[in-house]
Amino acid sequence: MAEITKSYEAKDVETKWYAAWQEAKCFAGRAAPGQETYTIVIPPPNVTGILHMGHVLNNTLQDALIRRARLEGKAACWIPGTDHAGIATQTMVEKHLKKSEGKGRRDLGREEFLKRVWSWRDEKGDMILQQLRELGCSCDWDRTHFTMDPGYSKAVLTSFVKLFDGGHIYRGKRMVNWCPVSLTALSDEEVEMRPTKGFIYRLRYELVEPATTTDAEGNVIPLTHLILETTRPETIAADVAVAVHPDDPRYQHLVGKRVWRPLGERVQIPIIADIAVDPAFAAGALKVTPAHDKVDYEIGQRHSLPIIDALNADGTLNEFAGPELAGMDRFAGRKKAAEILEASGALIEAKPYENNVGYSQRAGVPIEPRLTQQWWLKYPRVEEAKQVVRDGLIQMHPERWTKVYLNWLDNIQDWCISRQLWWGHRIPVWYAKGIDREQLTEADLRDPTKIHVSLEGPVDPENWTQEDDVLDTWASSWLWPFATLGWPNAEEQAKAGFSQFYPTTTLATGADIIFFWVARMIMAGLEFTGGDDGQGGMTNDECRMTNGATTADPKHSALGIRHSSLSREELARRIPFKHVYFNGIVRDKQGRKMSKTLGNSPDPLDLIAKYGADGLRFGILQIAPLGQDVKFDEDRIEGGKNFCNKLWNACRFRQMSGPMSDNTSLAAILARVDASKLDDDDHALLAALIDTMRTVERGFTEFEFAGATQRLYSFFWNDFCDWYVEVAKARVQDPSVKDHALAVQDLVIREFLLMFEPFAPFITEELWSLLGYVGGTTSVSSSGGPDGAGPSLFLQDTRIETADGLVAALAASGAHVDAAASGRVDKLKQFATLARQLKADQLVAQKRDVKFLALGHHADWLALEKAVSKLTRLVGAVDISRTTEELALPATVTPFGTLYLDTGIKVDPAAERTRLTKELDAITKHIAGTESRLGNVAFTSKAPPAVLDGAKKQLADQQAKRDELTRLLKAL
RNA sequence: GGACUCAUAGCUCAGUUGGUUAGAGCACCUGCUUCACACGCAGGGGGUCACUGGUUCGAGUCCAGUUGAGUCCACCA
């Protein structure tokens, strides 16, 4: 067996084992008949993406879950892949193209441009997956998917056709969120409201027919103009009316009159009354610009107003904005418009103003409400999607997200699924040549002579033109949990093990995409999977209920609530996952989201190089409390590395302490543990181990990883290394218990490595191999893995024991863990600490030749005497012996009576007095507190007996200590 | 406007159903290269648990309110 080096060098270990695991196909998701499965689909990173700290946290969590499942004997399957990420990728390639060739995508044409994107993807697309391997992720790489793969694309188009046939998809000209940079429509979810500083312009709109009004005193005064305020003067030329509230007394008599439009062509526009106007806001009068505002558009519809579109797609103003503004960018145009208005006297005032403006999340510029033809989806299975979460078929962790989820579904609006991009799934719709796409009615959409919708396209392509638009990226990723398992192709589904791995078990993702992705996947799963044909879809009854469901207005389309006719069993079959775990967002120390632009995100690969993949994984999980954002702190990652090194050295020390015996199974190790030789330290250690196992078990079921990692840390470092290994040093010198003592260590290290593996797969695998745990058959409590109880080559082939399983296995070999031992060991730990403290106080901490003398009851000495050989070693003394007389030496009061330190140096009474007085003061305070509690009748009569007894015992101990300190002080 | 989260040591965080003297890591101070580990060992200092009130024999923990930080949804010119 190879000797263990002095410190853990992660790099070589990581490379070696990752290759070995892949070689042995350890990560393959294969399920034996009847075997329990555990499936995770990765949140597919953007194909152009590079690994950032958010990925590290998210994927470490998934890997921990998958690896734990594997150790528990489940058929674990983690499906990796990447997302084509329409806008993000297209933008990136366009930028690159501009830089390297000075060309735009239109210079190349659609086909050529797509070729470039594909070659970009072929070159860089696997980078992030490679980085995940360096992190140790145990994905089944043979199942890697890409949302633009032929098979996946077919799934996407199939879903479109099915939804179209089911009446869920329609086309319509409506106000959308338009991104003037990406030149495409966006869904509401892709728009982010940001407070934005600007100006609000107070303007005079001159009345065509002068009117009168009354002032506060009731005097009739002439009225020549109307005052209103706007933040967008550049759109005034597109105004078609001025609106006031119908009940507003200031303006009622003006309704029906007209004003002069103050900018652009000098035309008259009507004053209308509409309830959308808030009389209390600004001037209480609103300029109506139907082409450039959602509310204005609706007002325009209600009043049959014309629509003037003064903006180009790229956000520049066109000729309708007026000759002075035409061709200008919208922001420059705004300034120019203000200048013109000021010159003409129409501008009364420009006040600094901050309002919420919608920004394109991707491009970071304000979006424009724009009237365009788009494809819309009326979401399927909305009610069922609520039901499965409300009824707990899908559980969210932390649970509070269910409320956010349900609230969104309650207010859901139709989804704009078309994008004016080239990179994506081109919508499988063909228009008959010669028809006017602008004039298509809803009925036309269902007329096969005008519109063709299918997977294969029309049989006579020469007579048709395909839709130019592609689908929103999320309209492909919402199929991820089942399209990666072969849907909709039955043969592929069988090959991928769909029936075994679907529904998947856990989805781990960030809450920032709960609407984008999580909610939509649930609806998609419910719509497309299950059913008698395994292909989802609606039952006949449901088809009848949703007959003629297309609605023109997205706001109201969700009102026609369809009640589920799916049974609970059917719903359970269709859901895409059973648990959703929302990990926090990784932030920097100032609490800012980590981002490329801020440059505050460390490169995970640098961190891996510096601290090892295991150090990084363990470190990040330790600071990732359930559902809370993570403030990244590199010190914690260093802590992860240090812990790995500690583990490494403890194992190294075990190897140096004595020959390795048969470690190939739990049974083999237990055979070497001599139950009759178990002492208090053994019992306390085993009790702590079992407690740790329970904590870790709970950590995985409750997604409390921080708790699990912290217990693993304190168990190994404090319980095992600091105490047990130290006290065992004496026993290992004793031939009569040596084998037994080493066997206990082998047992504990074994169980620890198994528990730790999901968090730190590399170092554990290496130590598993170095310490000879490899090679046996699967463990005693295992019922056999997918391939039966064959020899295990890797740690991850082994079955982990449950805490109960270990208790049972110990009991079967005669080792019943004595729970009371921990208390006795704790007293010895206190004794050791006090003895060291005394040495430090006397400035002889480093001396190892001092003598201790214990003065106490006979029983105390008996307890101490048993541990004397360990204790002398632990505290650094040549001897701890008993004294029956009071000595003039520095002393401390321990749980075993008074302890004197003999350094051979004369005592300094003044210093001693100070030290002891300080201690006495402290204990006196505690006694006062305890006494007053016990003196309170309300407490003694109402507190439970255990608490009461505890308090009494505490008081007695405190008093004994006080008395002894008092005596020591007097003796000085 | 609506929903939610958080506030504990200088920093980052634990603190299970209320119950001894509120813990860890990092940082800081002291001592130590003691034959696993200086990526370490031993010891130490450091907290009115944001504030106010309530429930209770007992509150960091439960309830109400206040303040502060943050997130999501909606959004008016």
- For the segment A368-372, the average pLDDT, to the nearest whole number, is 92
Residue, of A614 and A965, whose pLDDT is higher: A614
Residue A658: CB less than 7 A from any atom in strand B: no
**Residue A470 in contact with residue A425, Cβ under 8 Å?**
yes
The C-alpha atoms of residue A564 and residue A530 are separated, in whole angstroms, by 14
| For the segment 719-738 of chain A, residues whose CB is within 7 A of strand B | 721-722, 725-726
Residue A411: CB less than 7 A from any atom in strand B: yes
Burial class (CB in 10 A: 0-12, 13-18, 19+), A841: middle
- For the segment A658-673, the average pLDDT, to the nearest whole number, is 91
Single pTM value for the model: 0.91
**Residue A648 in contact with residue A767, Cβ under 8 Å?**
yes
* Model confidence pLDDT, tens digit, residues A947-956: 888 888 888 8
Nearest nucleotide over every DNA/RNA strand to the A930 CA, judged by C1': B20
- For the segment A112-140, the average pLDDT, to the nearest whole number, is 93
The C-alpha atoms of residue A165 and residue A158 are separated, in whole angstroms, by 10
* Model confidence pLDDT, tens digit, residues A150-175: 999 999 999 999 999 999 999 988 89
* Model confidence pLDDT, tens digit, residues A376-432: 999 999 999 999 999 999 999 988 899 999 999 999 989 999 999 999 999 999 999
* Model confidence pLDDT, tens digit, residues A818-874: 988 888 899 899 899 989 988 888 877 777 788 888 888 888 888 888 888 888 888
Query: Of all protein residues, which has its CA closest to the C1' atom of B75?
Result: A356
For the cut 80, the answer to whether the pLDDT of residue A966 exceeds it is yes
Residue A711: CB less than 7 A from any atom in strand B: no
Residue A646: CB less than 7 A from any atom in strand B: yes
- For the segment A336-352, the average pLDDT, to the nearest whole number, is 89
Tokens of A504: 């998947």
Give the containing element (helix H, strand E) for A877.
strand A877-882
Q: Which amino acid is at A522?
A: I
Residue A710: CB less than 7 A from any atom in strand B: yes
* Dihedral sign computed on CA atoms, order A24, A26, A27, A29: positive
| pLDDT at site A354 | 85
| pLDDT at site A230 | 92
Residue A623: CB less than 7 A from any atom in strand B: yes
Q: Which amino acid is at A665?
A: S
Give me the CA A68–C1' B65 separation in Å, rounded.
Answer: 45
* Dihedral sign computed on CA atoms, order A851, A856, A862, A864: negative
A514 falls in which pLDDT band (50, 70, 90)? very high
| pLDDT at site A618 | 92
> Which residues are registered as beta bridge partners of A258?
A270
* Model confidence pLDDT, tens digit, residues A41-89: 999 999 888 888 989 999 999 999 999 999 999 999 999 999 999 888 9
The C-alpha atoms of residue A879 and residue A433 are separated, in whole angstroms, by 102
Residue A955: CB less than 7 A from any atom in strand B: no
| For the segment 755-794 of chain A, residues whose CB is within 7 A of strand B | none
With b for 16 or more beta-carbon neighbours within 10 A and e for fewer, the A398-409 pattern comes to: eeebbeebeeeb
For the cut 50, the answer to whether the pLDDT of residue A779 exceeds it is no
Rg (CA), chain A: 37
Residue given tokens 């090959």 in the structure block: A495
DSSP A564: -
| pLDDT at site A776 | 64
Residue A944: CB less than 7 A from any atom in strand B: yes
Residue A399: CB less than 7 A from any atom in strand B: no
**Residue A491 in contact with residue A559, Cβ under 8 Å?**
no
| For the segment 132-161 of chain A, residues whose CB is within 7 A of strand B | none
| pLDDT at site A900 | 86
Q: Which of A672, A700, A702 is nearest to A757 (CA)?
A: A700
Residue A122: CB less than 7 A from any atom in strand B: no
Nearest nucleotide over every DNA/RNA strand to the A942 CA, judged by C1': B57
What's chain A's average pLDDT? 87
Q: Which amino acid is at A908?
A: D
Q: Which of A759, A811, A808 is nearest to A782 (CA)?
A: A808
**Phi and psi angles of residue A718, each rounded to the nearest 5 degrees, phi first:** -85, -55
Give me the CA A740–C1' B41 separation in Å, rounded.
Answer: 27
- For the segment A480-496, the average pLDDT, to the nearest whole number, is 94
For the cut 70, the answer to whether the pLDDT of residue A346 exceeds it is yes
Q: How many residues in chain A?
A: 972
Residue A927: CB less than 7 A from any atom in strand B: no
Residue A565: CB less than 7 A from any atom in strand B: no
Query: Of all protein residues, which has its CA closest to the C1' atom of B3?
Result: A404
SS3 sequence of A348-363: EEEEEEEEEEEEECCC
Residue, of A70 and A208, whose pLDDT is higher: A70
- State how far the alpha carbon of A51 is from the alpha carbons of A54, A281, A605, A608, A752, in Å: 8, 47, 8, 12, 30
> Which residues are registered as beta bridge partners of A403?
none
Give me the CA A934–C1' B20 separation in Å, rounded.
Answer: 12
| pLDDT at site A180 | 92
| pLDDT at site A534 | 55
- Strand B nucleotides, any atom under 7 Å from protein beta carbons: they are 3-6, 11-15, 19-21, 24-27, 30-34, 36-44, 56-58, 69-77
* Model confidence pLDDT, tens digit, residues A270-320: 999 998 888 888 888 899 999 999 899 999 989 999 999 999 999 899 998
> Which residues are registered as beta bridge partners of A38?
A76
| pLDDT at site A564 | 55
| pLDDT at site A169 | 93
* Model confidence pLDDT, tens digit, residues A521-577: 999 999 999 865 555 654 444 443 343 333 334 433 333 334 457 889 999 999 999
Reply yes or no: is the peptide bond before residue A488 cis, omega within 30 of 0: yes
**Residue A748 in contact with residue A701, Cβ under 8 Å?**
no
| pLDDT at site A56 | 92
Nearest nucleotide over every DNA/RNA strand to the A846 CA, judged by C1': B32
A500 falls in which pLDDT band (50, 70, 90)? very high
